[in-house]
Amino acid sequence: MNIAITGANGLVGSRIVELLRDEFTFIPLNHSEVDITDQKQVHKKLNDIDFDLLLHMAAYTNVDKAEEEKIIAHKLNVDATKYLFNEVHTLNKKMIYVSTDFVFDGKNPPFDENSKPNPVGYYGQSKYDGELVLEKKAMVVRITYPYGNTKSKKCHPELDSGSRKKLVKQDFVQKIRSYLANDKSLSMVTDSLMTPTYIDDITLALKYLMNNFSPEIFHIIGSKSYSPFEAGKMIAEHYQLPEWLIQPTTFEEYSKGKSPRPQFAETKSIKNTFYEMRSFGEGLQYLT
């Protein structure tokens, strides 16, 4: 199967291409080659290539900045998704749109595929608006707190800055690890929930979904939710870094001056019967 993919250089997309390159032929729509916020470029590119399914991973992903940059976030997360979907639909091909648990308000967990989205911040709103432009004719795969791409920057402290440019952004595990490794203290929230997801699990579950396409919503997420405080302690323990640098704080305190976020993002899947997702405790064991 030929898979056109946006965001192939990103944190999650780069691992998908790396792990599944023997299973599928990937056709990356690299940003340097096609700006997906330009409708003409999208039209030309998708009509020039021979693909069966478009995996749309590219997005505006900076949750806090999205509040100030609503127009830019909207262009990438909503308009570009619409341009891509229109072409895919006209060409009678399949499309998978990768979305997020930030479409939920975090007020009455857990959130499964049947729960009603009600985003509290602009990043979540723009991703949800991106889901809506698909008119239930594409697959929506929601993922949460992806971690574990070995190309993530802090996995390679030995590289010089030139070589690091080829690496993807840090995931939350590597961010916390680098804080602790530099003896910086961290205030982490005790009264909220997040659901970390091992990127290799996302990849293998997506492999199933690409082979068994249907235009529905799926949650491809870790099997257990944790408070950020608990997750931080687990990271410290795994990398044998000082746990005492992680201090408890409240969601209210942490939220001051930041974009609104879902507080209890306990996300579940009632539809993933095809791939067993790991918990954070299990996934961490694979990280060196």
98 binds ligand NAP (CB under 6 A): yes
Interaction between residue 84 and ligand NAP (CB under 6 A):
no
46 binds ligand NAP (CB under 6 A): no
SS (H, E, C) the chain: CEEEEECCCCCCHHHHHHHHCCCCEEEEECCCCCCCCCHHHHHHHHHHCCCCEEEECCCCCCCCHHHCCHHHHHHHHHHHHHHHHHHHHHCCCEEEEEEEHHHCCCCCCCECCCCCCCCCCHHHHHHHHHHHCCCCCCEEEEECCEECCCCEHHHCCCCCHHHHCCCECCCHHHHHHHHHHCCCCEEEECCCEECCEEHHHHHHHHHHHHHCCCCCEEECCCCCCECHHHHHHHHHHHCCCCHHHEEEECHHHHHCCCCCCCCECCECCCCCCCCCCCCHHHHHCCCC
Does 35 bind ligand NAP (CB under 6 A)? Our answer is yes
Among 31, 65, 70, 224, which residue interacts with ligand NAP (rule: CB under 6 A)? 31
Q: Which of residues 51-80 bind ligand NAP (CB under 6 A)?
A: 57-59, 61, 76
Query: Nearest approach, Cβ of 180 to ligand NAP (angstroms)?
Result: 20
Please tell me whether residue 199 binds ligand NAP under the rule CB under 6 A: no
How many residues contact ligand NAP, by CB under 6 A? 25
- Tell me which stretch binds ligand NAP (CB under 6 A): 35-43, 106-114, 156-164, 214-222: 35-43
Nearer Cβ to ligand NAP (24/128): 128
**Residue nearest ligand NAP by beta-carbon distance:** 10
Write out the residues near ligand NAP by the rule CB under 6 A: 6-7, 9-13, 31, 35-37, 57-59, 61, 76, 98, 100, 127, 143-146, 168-169
